[in-house]
Chain A
Amino acid sequence: MIKRLFIFMMLALMAMIFFNIASNYNENTSLSKLGRYYAENGPQELGAPNLVTAVVVTYRGLDTLGEVTVLFISAAGVGLLLRRTRRNQKDDAGLERGDREEETAGVHKPASEIVETATELLLPMVILFGIYVFINGHLSPGGGFQGGAIIASGTMFLLLALPESHISRLMIAITESLSGFSYVVVGVLGVILADGFLDNRIMGLGNYGDLFSAGAIPLIYTFVGLKVGFELSAVLDRFRKEDTGPV
């Protein structure tokens, strides 16, 4: 009981702090100095109409590299925690046949025909849309992370409709490592050919507003999109109950 009271008191204190924040809140009427700088100079300097992309990929590109690293580490952590150890496999071998059938019955129950057909029809389009979102990241809302999430949702769709489908771990690992490596290489090229790490002006800025413009931003976002998409697909694949694929 005393614990409950303590929790309640703490939440009440936090609510008081929040009430103060909310009651003293005034909506901004103009941009902050930093935001103003980005708005005035971003499009000319980097050639990207989407200012959020300009901030994420170039001005604060190092943070994005750190973010991709955090995502990579968490995907690796999920892989480590949910891997099938040899001891577990032996345990499974010892299970009664009936037990195992019971355990897998829920997983391998096929989806209805409508869902399966819709998946075969829609999956290429979902993946195509993900690619569209990350290639157009510098022109319109979207970008590597969003496009990657859409690709991973396509994988989710596949796993729900066809639970027995096999996703190649090797292909995922190779694509993921290559795109992460290329991302860093593009960043280092920025030091050599332009003004600093992850500078997008290693290639010409091109025509403002074109698909292939804004220097290296579409390239970087393609790598980020592929990496995020495949990493999240690997995480989803790991969460499947019957984890039998090769490591």
Chain B
Amino acid sequence: MNFITDTPVSLIVLCSGLGLIIIGLWGMLTQRNIIRIIIGFSLMDTGIHMVMVSIGYVTGGTAPIINDAVPMAEAANLIVDPVPSALVLTAIVIGLGVTAVMLSFAVRIYKSQKTLMIDKCTESKW
């Protein structure tokens, strides 16, 4: 129990994020179905977001929003770093855009090849 309570929360988030990156990379490298490759990409994307958020965490910090609980004068000592949060916001939106384009490519490939397995799309391999 000591191990669980003593581990900083950001380390847990960091490790899960790194694990998700590896799982996503494994999926992208080994899977043959395009939809599964895209799922692998999304997992890796989510893992990267978690790593970025965990790096911005400050021990005991709260959300970077000034209100009654976080007075303006002491804000610098009470909040987590707002910069990684802002970067993750950007990264999520761009990941969404990339996923949408990949899925529409998958639709196109399915329409022309009638399959989603990349092994069978041999026409223009080289």
Please give the residue numbers on chain A whose beta carbons come within 8 Å of chain B beta carbons, in ascending order: 4, 7, 10-11, 14-15, 18, 21-22, 25, 27-32, 34-36, 38-40, 42-44, 49-52, 54-56, 60, 63-64, 67, 70-71, 73-75, 77-78, 81-82, 140-141, 143, 145, 228, 232, 235, 238-239
- Most chain B CB inside 10 Å of its own CB: which residue of A27, A82, A228: A27
A44 CA to B85 CA, complexed, in Å: 20
- Please indicate the chain B residues that have their CB under 8 angstroms from the CB of A25 in the complex: 10-11, 14
Contact A43 B8 (CB under 8 A): no
Q: In whole Å, how far is B31's beta carbon from the nearest beta carbon of chain A?
A: 11
Bound CA–CA A202/B57 (angstroms): 33
Cβ-defined contact, A141 with B63, below 8 A: yes
Supply 19 further A-B pairs (C-beta < 8 A) apart from A25-B10, A29-B58: A7-B30, A10-B29, A18-B18, A25-B11, A25-B14, A27-B57, A38-B82, A40-B75, A51-B66, A52-B89, A55-B83, A67-B90, A67-B93, A70-B97, A74-B101, A75-B97, A78-B104, A82-B108, A140-B65
**Which residues of chain B from 67 to 126 have a CB within 8 Å of any chain A CB?**
67, 72, 75-77, 79, 81-83, 85-86, 89-90, 92-94, 96-98, 100-101, 103-105, 107-108
Chain B residue, CB-CB nearest to A231: B97
Residue of B nearest to A27 (CB): B8
* Dominant secondary structure at the A interface: helix
Q: Quick one: closest A residue to B72, CB to CB?
A: A43
How many cross-chain pairs have Cβ atoms below 8 Å apart between A and B? 139
Which secondary structure dominates chain B's binding surface? helix
Within 8 A of A (CB), among B28-87: 29-30, 56-59, 63-67, 72, 75-77, 79, 81-83, 85-86
Given contacts A27-B59, A39-B76, A67-B90, contact A49 B107 (CB under 8 A): no
- A44 and B66 CA atoms in complex are apart in Å by 11
Residues in chain A near residue B64, CB distance under 8 A: 39, 50-52
